[in-house]
Amino acid sequence: MITTICMNPCFDKTVEVPSLEVGQVNRIRDARVDMGGKGINVAVVADRLGLEVQCLGIMGRDGAAELSDLMDKENLKHDFLEIPGHVRTNTKIVSKSGQGVTELNEPGPRVNKEILDSFFALAKEKTAESDMVVLTGSLPPGCPEGTYRDLLKILEGKKCILDTEGKELELAAKGAKPFLIKPNLREMEATLGIELRTMRTIRDAALLFVRLGVEHAVVSMGEMGAMYVSADKTLFAPALRVEIKSTVGAGDAMIGGMLLGYAKEKDMARAFRYGIAAGAASVMTEGTQLIVRSDFEKLLEMVKIQEV
How many angstroms separate the CA atoms of 124 and 147, rounded?
15
Q: Which backbone phi and psi does 22 adopt, to 5 degrees?
A: -65, 130
Task: Give the strand pairing for 226-229 and 216-220.
Answer: antiparallel
Q: How many residues does the chain have?
A: 308
Q: Which amino acid is at 291?
A: I
3-state secondary structure of 220: strand
Contact present, 199 and 236 (Cβ < 8 Å): yes
How many angstroms separate the CA atoms of 214 and 259, rounded?
17
> Residue 267: exposed, middle, or buried by beta-carbon count in 10 A (0-12, 13-18, 19+)?
exposed
How many angstroms separate the CA atoms of 101 and 188, rounded?
21
Q: In what order do the strands lie in the sheet with 88-95?
A: 30-36, 10-17, 88-95, 100-105
Element (H, E) at 119: helix 113-126
Angstrom CA distances, 258 to 96, 172, 180, 305, stand at 31, 21, 10, 14
Active site residues: 252
